[in-house]
Chain A
Amino acid sequence: MIDPTAVRPAATPPTGRAPRPEPLLLHFAFGLLFGVVLVKSEAVSWFRIQEMFRFQSFHMYGILGSGVVTASALIALSRRLGLQTAEGGEMRIEQRTWQPHANALGGLTFGLGWGLLGACPGPIYALLGSGVTVMVVALASALLGAWTYGQLKPRLPH
């Protein structure tokens, strides 16, 4: 007897994957761990950023440098092992748009802000969570900055 339920369904037409619901708790957990590392390493500290821009300690350069090398090596290793992302994609860092004027001038603008505030976007969130409540003002300003950029974008060099 042939079990009719054992008949394999016809292959679905190649319309691409159905979008998978986002694993939101997982994203929360990754953010949480990143926040812990940023605070525990003092990368969120205005003092450490000042020390970095004065070239008076290796600490921040060590964090950034070893972070880059580790990420790069692990991604290269997972490609060699033939691993794919959970969504079946290639283990590869997404190409960032090459916009020389925007990268350079936006970078310079960001750097001026980083030097003043002593915190980049990740530390703004982590510091706010850790109890440096004035960062809510910095966050509101950063949102206003991003909003203003969105309005001016067509008129800025990219």
Chain B
Amino acid sequence: MSALFDSLSQPWPWYVAGPSIGLLVALLLLATGKGFGVSSSFQHICAAAFPARAEYFRYDWRRTGLWNLMFVVGMLAGGFLTGVWLANPEPVAISEATRDALAGLGIRDFEGLVPDDLIGWAGLATLPGFVAVVIGGFLVGFGARWAGGCTSGHAITGLAGLQKASLVAVIGFFAGGLIVTHLVLPVLLR
């Protein structure tokens, strides 16, 4: 039992995680008829909690969105389960080159899943932390709804369906990420 627990506490390699996600996508479609995606939950929460005159939020969110809201509540629970009982005590095993590059940008904290000095409550009071969490979060929500999906809906589900819209969106995702990583972060974290 403790051997099983130890192996569950280890990080999972890509060849376990990727096929597991693919299996979940296919099983979700088979068992419930739903298309895998997370960012539409943002639209449903807005429609439910912050009703506005905009047509985008005027629909029956209980009928079309309740399933997706249960799905993201499940994700919270999955995160809790993993973070509390199956957490990996070691720092994330990123490559030496990445670690050096991030240390060069002034990242000091390599414990846990995120750098607390940037993505944390203390960091929020600093300009880099505010930009990363508050502006970053805003752009994720705005961009995902504009693009019609996020990593789960476009990069995994849409690409699995060989869809042109998803390919264009994913090229956009990477263009944005590369701009931030190579042009914005060196200035923001200097």
Contact = CB atoms under 8 A, between A and B. Distances in A.
Given A44-B113, A67-B156, A36 B78 contact: yes
B21 interface: yes
Interface in B19-75: 19-36, 38-39, 41-43, 45-46, 50, 52, 54-57, 63, 66-68, 70-75
16 contacts: A28-B73, A31-B73, A46-B119, A47-B115, A62-B13, A68-B160, A74-B25, A86-B30, A112-B180, A116-B132, A138-B137, A143-B45, A146-B141, A147-B50, A150-B46, A150-B57
B42 A146 contact: yes
A115 B74 CA distance: 25
Contacts of B169: 103-104, 106-107, 110
Interface of A is mostly: helix
Contacts of B25: 67, 70-71, 74-75
Interface of B: 8, 11-36, 38-39, 41-43, 45-46, 50, 52, 54-57, 63, 66-68, 70-84, 86-88, 92, 94-95, 97-98, 101-102, 110, 112-115, 118-121, 123-124, 131-166, 168-182, 184-185
What's the dominant secondary structure at chain B's contact region?
helix
Given A75-B29, A86-B31, A125-B79, A115 B165 contact: no
Interface in A96-155: 96-100, 102-122, 124-134, 137-151, 153-154
A115 B33 contact: no
A96 to B, nearest CB: 4
